[in-house]
């Protein structure tokens, strides 16, 4: 039985049940028995099982992305790296040395851990290095690899300048700065400005490209959220980086982190709600059910509580630490929740077929019936 609106022009089909010979089939069966030399013809419905559509010849309609939990961890760590790079640049520009140092250490550390998670998912480090052999602008993975490399290089140079200057100051306090060390520290100090600018420029793309990476797949929930998902991921990244800064920076210098946490939490909440509305009831269902729903509910609560704590009690050491932990945990739940929802939408065929039907019906309602091919019947 199809759902094609043109079926109204066809005569109604007689409903036939397996093994049911009571709905007008007895007479037909008798005729068939007479025409076949007295042998009763077996009803075909007895031979054909009821159809339950859950795959295409034993395969998923949409192939799930071959990613494990390491990729979800990479989404989280890459976001922390990008947000920390921005905070470090802000700390340098506004005169918050503790925020600058903590941001630089966090940016390099998170980028290194994220790269390690990505290499583990690829199977061996050589595959990650092979991705650097070419630049393919149509591939988010290729572009993202170069963004991560550039960000890591600039952030590493800025951190080296920070460490070099700290070592030089320590040696100078003892009266033995060393000529070679002084020259290296001077060179790194000159490179500090360009390195900070480069890190700040590549920080937003690093936080956003992971959303583009997911949306570029055929996974239904990820693909259809391509407009709003970058805003969700960037704001979540800034919230996580702000949370880490609240944990590591003295309360006298965490003002920019507290303000960024509040703004990021607001943007993330609004962007996520808008994303669900745009996806519609079918494609947003994986976000509202199962493991993904539990993670995303926890994310919403943790993010709001963390942002509220950063604003109200973020000037105290304990309050800042607890708020920072809540913000980081909320960001992690966002990344893992979106990851789980996408995987679920790829496995269940209804998230591929039903949106096709909805789009087809919308086009037919507009009178467009001859410019597309679809398998949604």
* pLDDT at position 16 over 60: no
Angle at 134 between CA 133 and CA 140, to 5 degrees: 120
Residue bearing tokens 């990479």: 74
What pairs with residue 59 in β-bridges? Answer: 56
- Per residue in 247-285, pLDDT tens? 999 999 999 999 999 999 999 999 999 999 999 999 999
pLDDT grade for 48, boundaries at 50, 70 and 90: low
Helix axes 290-312, 317-347, angle to 10 degrees: 160
Q: Higher-confidence residue: 109 or 42?
A: 109
Cα–Cα distance for residue pair 234/206, rounded to 1 Å: 9
- Per residue in 308-365, pLDDT tens? 999 999 999 999 999 999 999 999 999 999 999 999 999 988 898 888 888 888 888 8
Query: Within the chain, where are the H helices?
Result: 25-35, 69-94, 97-122, 125-130, 140-173, 179-215, 220-224, 229-248, 255-283, 285-288, 290-312, 317-347, 350-365
pLDDT score at 374? 55
* pLDDT at position 142 over 50: yes
If you average pLDDT over every residue of the chain, what do you get? 85
Please compute the mean of the pLDDT values over residues 182-198 and round it to a whole number.
Answer: 87
């Amino acid at each position: 039985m199809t759902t094609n609106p043109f079926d109204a022009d066809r005569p109604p089909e007689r409903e036939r049940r397996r093994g049911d010979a009571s709905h007008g089939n007895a007479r037909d069966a008798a005729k068939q028995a007479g025409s076949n030399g007295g042998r009763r013809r077996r009803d075909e419905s007895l031979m054909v099982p009821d159809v339950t559509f859950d795959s295409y010849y034993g395969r998923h309609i949409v192939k799930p992305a071959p990613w494990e939990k390491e990729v979800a961890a990479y989404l989280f760590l890459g976001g922390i790296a990008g947000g920390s790079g921005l905070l470090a640049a802000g700390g340098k520009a506004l005169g918050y040395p503790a925020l600058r140092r903590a941001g630089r250490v966090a940016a390099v550390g998170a980028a290194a851990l994220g790269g390690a998670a990505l290499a583990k998912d690829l199977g061996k480090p050589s595959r990650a290095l092979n991705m650097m052999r070419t630049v393919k602008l149509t591939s988010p993975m290729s572009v993202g690899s170069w963004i991560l490399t550039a960000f890591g290089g600039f952030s590493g140079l800025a951190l080296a300048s920070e460490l070099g200057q700290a070592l030089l100051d320590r040696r100078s306090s003892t009266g033995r700065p060393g000529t070679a060390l002084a020259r290296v520290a001077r060179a790194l100090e000159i490179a500090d400005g360009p390195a900070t600018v480069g890190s700040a420029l590549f920080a937003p793309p690093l936080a956003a490209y992971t959303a583009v990476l997911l949306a570029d797949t055929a996974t239904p929930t990820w693909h259809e959220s391509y407009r709003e998902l970058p805003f969700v991921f960037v704001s979540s990244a800034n919230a996580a980086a702000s949370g880490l800064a609240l944990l590591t920076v003295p309360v006298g210098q965490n003002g920019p982190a507290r303000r960024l946490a509040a703004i990021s939490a607001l943007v993330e909440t609004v962007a996520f709600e808008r994303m669900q509305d745009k996806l519609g009831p079918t494609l947003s269902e994986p976000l509202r059910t199962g493991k993904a729903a539990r993670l995303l509910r926890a994310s919403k609560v943790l993010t709001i509580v963390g942002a509220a704590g950063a604003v109200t009690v973020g000037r105290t050491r304990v309050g800042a630490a607890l708020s920072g932990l809540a913000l980081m945990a909320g960001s992690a739940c966002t990344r893992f929740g979106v990851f789980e929802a996408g995987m679920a939408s790829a496995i269940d065929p209804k998230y591929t077929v039903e949106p096709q039907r909805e789009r087809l019906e919308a086009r037919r309602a507009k009178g467009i019936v001859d410019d597309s091919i679809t398998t949604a019947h």
